[in-house]
Amino acid sequence: MKIHQVEISELKLWDKNPRKNDAAADRLVPLLKEYGFINPIICTPDMVVRAGHTRIKAAKKLGMKEVPVIIINFGSEVKAKGFSIADNKSMEFAEWDIPMLNDVFEDLKLEDFDMNLTGFDISELEDLSPSEPEIDASIKSEPETDISIKIDQFESILYEFSGGKDSSLAILKTLHLFKNKNIELVFVETGAELPCIKKHIIEFSLEYHLPLKIICPEIDILSYYMQKKRWPDPIYRDCQHKFINQVLDDYNPDALHVRGGRKSQKTTLSKGKEYQKIGNVNIWNPLFNLSKIEIEKELLQIKIWPGYSKGFKRTACWMCPFHGAQQYEALKNNYPVLHQIMYQWAQEWEYPEYKNDGTRKRFLEYWEKVRV
């Protein structure tokens, strides 16, 4: 088929096109600008557009004068109309393989690719990342039967230990299930831990007589982002994957990995479940089906990180841009030098931008108030 370069002014949009595409044209503009006009317009010999109305509208917004066109004689107006409908409808036939799509997205983010150029907007990206509602399920001291069968198959148990409330509770609630297993607490030292975390990690392991392994990523998180001068991605949390999850997965993929994930939390790029397999790693979240009230009640019975009493809400990296104001204020009160470093970086580093991203707005507003 021959491709012609045709002036847009010569093309006639099909006046009975049933697709509403004004909003779609706006979203196509950055893609067309980045990749160029790869997919030609389909027209009949009378220059009526049969496929490509959205691309033409986007091209006009970019000030393009000409577009590539393939002219096809369908033999009748009826067939031309049928093709127009079928061309649009056929895009709906396929479905996304969500785990595979997320794997590709991970690769893109690790290469600093602008996720806006995938065509997905922020709400769609959030749907693909974990975001689950709170639940009121009653607490379970033992796993469901089918999960019990799964976890019983493993000889080695790897507790992914952050030092936080949930990972601590997940350990203490399930230790009795693994009396004859090889148990190991594993903590990932990313290079940006709050100074008091490591001490607590060690004290916890000694108190409960649990073997502790501290592992590190190939490059520490501070060096990585200082080189790039940008903050981690607010949707795909590339920091968590590259510097924590992947490090843990590679350390012992044959063990059952036990986490403290709840339904209400965003923990990985895959939809959260009580038990799931991501890649080659089997993951169990024993707190997953517990209500927030029950978890908080049980937390009163265990020893938790002293940092909570100092105003911190999370044990996450001190340079994490996804914290709320309370965490940053606790950082200022307890580690003012680190708070000052964050302030400096907030002025200099790029924060990945997505339309309607609340985390970016919250972050910028906090550090703007600090500046004032």
Which of 15-29, 123-137, 181-195, 319-333 is predicted least confidently?
123-137
Which of 128-132, 255-259, 284-288, 323-327 is predicted least confidently?
128-132
Mean pLDDT throughout 255-276? 75
Quote the CA–CA distance of 287 and 263 in Å, as a whole number. 8
Q: Is the confidence at residue 144, as pLDDT, over 70?
A: no
Indicate the average pLDDT of the chain.
86
Fold for domain 101-306? Rossmann fold (3.40.50)
Cβ-Cβ contacts under 8 Å for 257 (sequence gap 6 or more): 158, 160, 248, 249, 281, 282, 283, 284
Q: How sure is the predictor about 267, in pLDDT bands with cuts at 50, 70 and 90?
A: very low
Which of 29-33, 131-135, 226-230, 312-316 is predicted least confidently?
131-135
Q: Is the confidence at residue 284, as pLDDT, over 90?
A: yes
In the chain, what is the straight-line distance between the N-terminal and C-terminal CA atoms, in Å?
A: 62
158-182 pLDDT, tens digit per residue, is 999 999 999 999 999 999 999 889 9
Integer angstrom CA distances of residue 265 from 285, 292, 320: 11, 11, 16
Mean pLDDT throughout 249-273? 78
193-245 pLDDT, tens digit per residue, is 999 999 999 999 999 999 999 999 999 999 999 999 999 988 878 898 889 99
Q: What is residue 123's predicted lDDT score, i.e. its pLDDT?
A: 60
Mean pLDDT throughout 69-83? 93
Cβ-Cβ contacts under 8 Å for 1 (sequence gap 6 or more): 70, 72
Quote the CA–CA distance of 126 and 27 in Å, as a whole number. 17
Percent of the chain with pLDDT strictly greater than 90: 56
Q: What is residue 129's predicted lDDT score, i.e. its pLDDT?
A: 57
How many residues make up the chain in this entry? 372
Q: What is residue 271's predicted lDDT score, i.e. its pLDDT?
A: 53
Q: Is the confidence at residue 135, as pLDDT, over 60?
A: no
**Contact by Cβ (8 Å): 187, 215:** yes
Q: Is the confidence at residue 363, as pLDDT, over 60?
A: yes
Q: What is residue 133's predicted lDDT score, i.e. its pLDDT?
A: 35
Q: Is the confidence at residue 273, as pLDDT, over 70?
A: yes
Quote the CA–CA distance of 11 and 46 in Å, as a whole number. 9
Q: What is residue 134's predicted lDDT score, i.e. its pLDDT?
A: 38
Quote the CA–CA distance of 120 and 111 in Å, as a whole number. 17
Q: What is residue 131's predicted lDDT score, i.e. its pLDDT?
A: 41
The domain 3-92: what is its CATH number?
Answer: 3.90.1530.10
Q: Is the confidence at residue 270, as pLDDT, over 60?
A: no
Mean pLDDT throughout 46-60? 92
Cβ-Cβ contacts under 8 Å for 190 (sequence gap 6 or more): 216, 217, 220, 221, 243, 244, 317
Which of 29-43, 101-115, 179-193 is predicted least confidently?
101-115
Q: Is the confidence at residue 20, as pLDDT, over 50?
A: yes
Q: Is the confidence at residue 139, as pLDDT, over 50?
A: no
The H or E element that residue 368 is part of is helix 358-371
Q: Is the confidence at residue 246, as pLDDT, over 70?
A: yes
Percent of the chain with pLDDT strictly greater than 70: 90
Question: Domain limits of the chain?
Answer: 3-92, 101-306
Structural tokens at position 134? 């709170």
Mean pLDDT throughout 141-145? 59
Which of 64-73, 93-102, 191-200, 264-273 is predicted least confidently?
264-273
